[in-house]
Amino acid sequence: MSTPDTADQRNPREAEPDSLMDAESPRAHCIAAGRMFQAIGVIMLVGAGCVWALSGLILPPVNEPAERWSDYLGGPHRAIALFTLDVVATCVGGLGLFGAGVGLSGERRSAGRAAVFVTGCLCVVFVITAMGFAVTGGAWVGAVIAALLSLASGALLLIALHCAAILKRFPPPAHNEVTDEFLEDYRRKRDERRKKYDV
């Protein structure tokens, strides 16, 4: 007499992913992308400080000080305003990416939309500043840096859109909390997986 298949006897690809740590979870890509976003967020924060320290080598020299705030909208002072905007956007965007990455790695439903918002804003800001640097004389280094950042932000935007689509199609449980029952279930499944690979 045949017995019904249990979750351990079935094909792993056909087993229902019911755990946050399950390697077969359809949201595994979101977890990996979240960890990547966290790393990139930290790199952006550190990189913004390093680039700010090298501003004297990146920006064209300015012989006359700005007397009014409107001076930063044109002429050689425009590069300073654009550079400051890029540094601030990189710092704030790095924090936003880190936060969205934490949410994605924890499979939060709104984390995908947050990642799309952050990466989309970064892409728009860097495209605008790259165009501004391009029309400012002697600011070609800033234009190249902003253009590269806009391409990187565009790639991150595509990843964020994919994560948002995954979370929409395969939403996590409504109460995705780490409880004592969850930890006990995770330890049990971990021990069962270890027994399969014991020689």
The answer to whether position 119 is within a domain reads yes
The answer to whether position 1 is within a domain reads no
Q: Looking at per-residue confidence, does 69 or 12 come out higher?
A: 69
Per-residue pLDDT at 1:
43
DSSP labels for 58-101?
HSPP-SS---SGGGGGSGGGHHHHHHHHHHHHHHHHHHHHHHHH
Query: If you average pLDDT over residues 106-122, what whole number do you get?
Result: 91
CB-side exposure of 11: number of CA atoms within 13 Å?
A: 2
pLDDT exceeds 50 at position 101: yes
Claim: this prediction has a pTM higher than 0.95: no
Q: Looking at per-residue confidence, does 92 or 190 come out higher?
A: 92
The answer to whether position 90 is within a domain reads yes
Distance (Å, rounded) from C-alpha 58 to C-alpha 173?
A: 49
Tally Cβ neighbours within 10 Å of residue 120: 16
Express each pLDDT in 140-183 by its tens digit: 877 888 899 999 999 999 999 999 999 888 887 766 566 777 77
Supply the range of the domain harboring residue 110: 28-55+76-197
Per-residue pLDDT at 75:
62
The answer to whether position 143 is within a domain reads yes
Three-state secondary structure call for residue 110: coil
Joined tokens for residue 24? 């077969």
